[in-house]
Amino acid sequence: MASSRMGSPTTSDATPSPGCALPLHSLLSSVLEEEEERGVAHIVEHLAFSATKKYTNHDIVKFLESIGAEFGACQNALTSSDETIYELLVPVDRPDLLSQAISVLAEFSSEVRVSTEDLEKERGAVLEEYRGGRNASGRMQDAHWILMFEGSKYAERLPIGLEKVIRTVTPQTVKKFYEKWYHLHNMAVVAVGDFADTRTVVELIKIHFGKKTSISLAPPFIPEFSVPSHSEPRFSCFVESEAAGSAVMVSCKVPVDQMRTVKHYRDSLAEAMFHCALNQRFFKISRRKDPPYFSCSSSADVLVRPVKAYIMTSTCRENGTVEALESMLMEVARIRVHGFSDREICIVRALMMSEIESAYLERDQMQSTSLRDECLQHFLRKEPVVGLEYEAQLQKTILPYISSEEVSRYAINFCTTCSCVIKIVEPQARATIGDLKTVLLKVKALEDEKSIPPWDEEHVPEEIVLEKPIPGRILEKSVYPGVGATELLLSNGIRICYKCTNFLDDQIIFTGFAYGGLSELCEDEYISCSMGSNISGEIGVFGYKPSILMDMLAGKRAEVSTKLGAYMRTFSGDCSPSDLETALQLVYQLFSTSVEPRDEEVKIVMQMTEEAIRAQERDPYTAFANRVRELNYGNSYFFRPVRLGDLKKVDPLRACRYFSNCFKDPSTFTVVIVGNIDPEASLPLVLQYLGGIPKPSRPVLDFSRDDLKGLPFKFPEAIVREVVRSPMVEAQCSVQLAFPVILKNSSMMEEIHFVGFLSKLLETKIMQVLRFKHGQIYSVSVSVFLGGNKPSRTGDVRGDISVNFSCNPDISSKLVDLALEEISYLQEHGPGVEDVSAILEIEQRAHENGLQENYYWLDRILRGYQSRAYFGDLSASFEIQDDGRTKVRKLLTPTSIQLALQRILPSPCKKQYTVVILMPQISRLKLLQSSLVFGSSRFSRDAKILAGAAGAMVLAISLWRYCRSALNS
């Protein structure tokens, strides 16, 4: 029978709705496949959720949804090169449900059914998962993996397999693989959660798994597959026309370390300190004048059972890969020559000490998934499970004695003679392998001559706030017992609401908001001001350059971020209770300092933005997303995509002035603080740093929520079906079907909750049709967008509900029609009783879990203030919202859902909708031929939509980093 390992139960007083993680871990993996089986391990994983001896026709999925465990989020599986993991996240407050969930895992171990019908249903889903991975990122990842493991079987056994095998493999081949490798001797069950009695759980595992017998009598021998080392580096210049940008990857393979003794643990700490210190340097280099890269990071990861890789990745400007590579290699060479400074090691030690202290404080509130991972590593690699208390004590004991020399020693693992693979990715071929080799020779010569200069340290101020502000006074105080919150109005006009919780001992979070945002700007100002957050962020919104502030915050768990939205500007923070003063100091600095643009920082931002725009234009989805916004939200400048020509219109001075004014007047802000707050210690800090923010002599950006300008968008009144064709290396197809939503002001509170239930129902039912019945998609999502409405307390709310999925381009229109048919059927006949019960249970579980989370309460209190029901009394606003939820839950029946579908969506749904379909570009001849056929169809045009959020223009460089290919069902 399977070995069972029980994690320590979590014992939090604030968890009335317990849950647990139940993974079944198997040593079966894709590396065991023969040539004709490539992809079968992953197919078996899919089939497990489809049908077993006891369950059929996706009854497992239906059962888990009926107990509030959503498909995907709470029930999933993973196939990698070395292992397969099935995982269920289930509630444990009913022993019968836990028993049934364990029985499901037991079915996976030896009772998966492999019939022709089952295989054909899942084949389409697996093919769609395969197609989804053949984008730019997937191609680059696969190419790097093959190069890394050249000469080993791992290079030939990507977990997704071969398209040919997925399309043609027989049930007999799949069944033979399953019967050969799925043996209980090579499996482990882990149960981690809030169990009242762990012995009972162990007995349940014994009962269900004790009845199972492996199909093969003797446990199969699982061979070890070696990865040959190489002293000469391997090079690759990968050209990817759809790449998000130019990138450099340096990977060096080393044997996997053991983790059995305290010495091993000490080594792992020193290694972690090395990567942390190196990443600190990389960040500072990226913020210098004319940096060699925009971002760079270092890490170590176990890629396959015998091999760990040291990996450096960077993103850089076009034609900048050679310079980026030289800078990366030069930095590790500098460390080999000079090492890290004592100051650098002190900073890293403080960072790691802060992290372990935070984990220790929250040891009784640890997520089940963290304990699960420890147990899985014990099964897979025999790592000891020592518990967080011992590990924290060990780490705090060892860290002070790890020297800079000990940390610097790990730079040798980035030596280019140690099984090194160097790869660059460019949208167009610029650099050559010869260029890369020249860089290696140059860096080696400088290192051999010891002519690389030491690292140049920056001066770091000791205090964030140089002159402490005069504390403010409390003018008004209100207590809301139903919310568990207290509200203060301070003398500078800022409103503070705080709620004390005990969910996480080391967390306080906060958000401050003020009405008035980018929607108030005219077209001439919009481009510049929407860049204000980006430009100011690079300069330093807290009065210090980001590279300096990083060192100032070392060892402190405090961070604050800002956002400029369409109707609001906000700041948000997350900190340890012991570092609340630091976090509030950052907020004080945000309000009391003005950002002044400097040429070098502005240049970096504009370069990054330009690269981001170029990357977007290469992405096949850009034209699709642009058309969606234009179609559903109008061709306003607010929704228009930013082009390279627009950057010339940006005035950095205007951008920074606007950003500074957004956070200038404290009297316009309401701040909500939630977490482990000690009022006696925290309130004096709030009064000093929030109440001490100076109020300007005149109001700055002081807007009434009811008088803000609305965004100019209107959903099309007729049916629109369009195809957007985009150049692609490999065929991709995405579909979005969208319907307008209008919620009447008179019944807003109830309708909002109905919309939430409808979206979950539609997601479940369309998934059942398109994946479980027809087997043609991998996943589907239904999203609701109501973000375009101004926060006025009057008028109806407009938005849309959209259905999103990817599929085979050839059947996209057919699948749209099937989705429409299902929605139409629900409008005409309503859902089944079991469908309503499932979505009620999912919503209830999500609600119960949320009640134990700080972020849930932060969001709820913010929504209380921003609700249309808010007129100065937070409790009244809460009561109206809670009453709305309770009323809708009581009313929720098949009939009420049917009526809501008719009321909230167009009825019938086929009379008003948009569909936008992203399709591969075809030749003009084929386009003409297809248009002739298409014209005779009953459809004018096909379509798909990717919902665009109204708000500030946000441009960011994707930080693409290689990771092990793993497939989730």
Active site positions, annotated: 45, 122
Per residue, the 3-state secondary structure of 751-768, as one string, reads HHHHHHHHHHHHHHHHHH
DSSP tag of 692: T
- Six token digits for residue 722: 């369009």
Backbone phi and psi for residue 513, each to the nearest 5 degrees, phi listed first: -135, 150
In single-letter form, the type of residue at position 746 comes to: S
Cβ atoms within 10 A of the Cβ of 162, count?
18
Q: Are strands 307-316 and 246-255 parallel, antiparallel or unpaired?
A: antiparallel
Q: Alpha-carbon distance 839 to 856, whole Å?
A: 20
DSSP tag of 493: S
For tokens 């003005």, what's the residue? Answer: 594
- 573, 518 Cβ separation under 8 angstroms: no
- Six token digits for residue 323: 């310079």
- Six token digits for residue 701: 């950006």
Q: Alpha-carbon distance 87 to 65, whole Å?
A: 14
Angle at 792 between CA 786 and CA 798, to 5 degrees: 30
H or E element, residue 935: helix 924-935
Of the candidates 138, 172, 140, the one whose C-alpha atom is nearest the C-alpha of residue 43 is 172
513 SS3 class: strand
| Beta bridge mates, 426 | 239
Q: Alpha-carbon distance 845 to 851, whole Å?
A: 10
The HSE-up count of residue 227 (CA atoms within 13 Å, CB side) is: 26
Q: Are strands 967-968 and 75-79 parallel, antiparallel or unpaired?
A: antiparallel
CA distances, 527 to each of 35, 495, 522, 645 (Å): 55, 31, 10, 11
| Beta bridge mates, 112 | 52
- 30, 158 Cβ separation under 8 angstroms: yes
Q: Specify burial of residue 755 (Cβ count, 10 A radius: 0-12, 13-18, 19+).
A: buried
717 SS3 class: coil
Q: How far apart are the first and last CA of the chain?
A: 26
Please list, in sequence order, all residues whose beta carbon lies within 8 angstroms of the beta carbon of residue 565, skipping any fewer than 6 positions away.
517, 518, 951, 952
- Six token digits for residue 158: 């990507």
Cβ atoms within 10 A of the Cβ of 3, count?
15
* Sign for the pseudo-dihedral over CA of 775, 779, 782, 787: negative
Q: Specify burial of residue 15 (Cβ count, 10 A radius: 0-12, 13-18, 19+).
A: middle
For tokens 């019938």, what's the residue? Answer: 908
As a 3-state breakdown, the chain gives helix, strand, coil percent values, each rounded to 5, of 50, 15, 35
Of the candidates 244, 298, 258, 245, the one whose C-alpha atom is nearest the C-alpha of residue 275 is 298
496 SS3 class: strand
| Beta bridge mates, 737 | 803, 915
- 778, 806 Cβ separation under 8 angstroms: yes
Q: Alpha-carbon distance 41 to 27, whole Å?
A: 11
Cβ atoms within 10 A of the Cβ of 895, count?
12
Angle at 163 between CA 162 and CA 169, to 5 degrees: 85
- Six token digits for residue 883: 């009453």
